[in-house]
């Protein structure tokens, strides 16, 4: 692995283990076994490194999202994509929190836009079959909000271990998903 890739892998590991609040060039350099000038040579500053790490994280997320959906029925594909989104946040809660923080700060991340476009495509496919009960844009907001709500439950549990160490109840997560999908669809496939 080249130095730049090693630094990016170390940055992602620091984000996953410590979260964005504890993210530092010192921690990344120590993990990558390089000096600060090497990091600055490749990324300019800590923000450049963080931006590059977020781009890689979203690319990893997008790859997993594309691979997760095998269904031909667009509602089942939507459900699988929703579950994949939430699984990613559950497995990597600190990284997910950092990714969402970066998006909320207005960062333009191509893989994030592609992931959102994939959601819109899935909902548009439901509409094309005449099974959507509201406009595509409104349905996209419902599904996006419900997936982020469920994901945030996992991130919150990981960041505030004392309040909910085992994470959210799986029934709550399933209800969020099912309620969102039922609210946007006129007909559902059998589970």
Span 142-186, pLDDT tens digits:
999 999 999 999 888 877 755 545 678 888 899 999 999 999 999
Domain ranges of the chain: 50-184
**Mean pLDDT value of segment 94-115:** 92
CA distances (Å), origin 92, targets 18, 98, 125, 128: 11, 10, 29, 34
Percent of the chain's residues with pLDDT above 70:
96
pLDDT of residue 161: 55
Q: What is the pLDDT of residue 166?
A: 67
What average pLDDT score do residues 135-144 get? 96
**Model pLDDT, residue 60:** 93
| Spatial separation of the C-alpha atoms in residues 56 and 126, rounded to whole Å | 30
> Under CATH, which number does the domain 50-184 receive?
1.10.357
Query: According to the per-residue pLDDT averaged within each range, which of 18-32, 62-76, 126-140, 149-163 is highest?
Result: 126-140
pLDDT of residue 164: 47
Q: Residue 53 has what pLDDT?
A: 95
Distance CA 39, CA 190 (A): 52
Is the pLDDT score of 5 beyond 70? Answer: yes
Q: Is the pLDDT at 191 greater than 70, yes or no? A: no
For 49-77, what is each residue's pLDDT tens digit?
999 999 999 999 999 888 877 778 999 99
Six-digit token string for 65: 């999202």
Q: What pLDDT was estimated at residue 100? A: 92
CA 160, 165, 166, 170 dihedral sign is negative
This model's pTM is above 0.85 = yes
Please return the burial class of 34, using the count of CB atoms within 10 Å of its CB with bins 0-12, 13-18 and 19+.
middle
Residue-level pLDDT at 127: 97
State which H helix or E strand residue 189 sits in: none
């Amino acid at each position: 692995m080249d130095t730049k890739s090693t630094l990016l892998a170390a940055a992602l590991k620091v984000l996953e283990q410590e979260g964005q609040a504890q993210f530092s060039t010192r921690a990344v350099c120590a993990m990558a076994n390089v000096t600060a000038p090497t990091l600055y040579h490749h990324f300019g500053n800590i923000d450049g490194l963080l931006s590059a790490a977020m781009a890689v994280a979203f690319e990893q997320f997008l790859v997993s999202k594309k691979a997760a959906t095998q269904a031909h029925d667009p509602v089942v594909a939507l459900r699988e994509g929703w579950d994949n989104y939430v699984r990613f946040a559950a497995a990597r809660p600190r990284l997910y929190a950092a990714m969402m923080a970066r998006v909320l700060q207005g960062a333009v991340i191509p893989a994030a836009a592609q992931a959102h476009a994939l959601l819109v495509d899935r909902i548009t496919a439901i509409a094309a079959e005449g099974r959507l009960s509201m406009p595509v844009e409104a349905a996209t907001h419902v599904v996006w909000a419900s997936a982020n709500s469920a994901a945030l439950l996992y991130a919150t549990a990981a960041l505030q271990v004392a309040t909910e160490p085992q994470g959210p109840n799986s029934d709550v997560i399933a209800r969020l998903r099912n309620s969102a999908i039922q609210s946007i669809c006129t007909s559902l496939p059998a589970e």
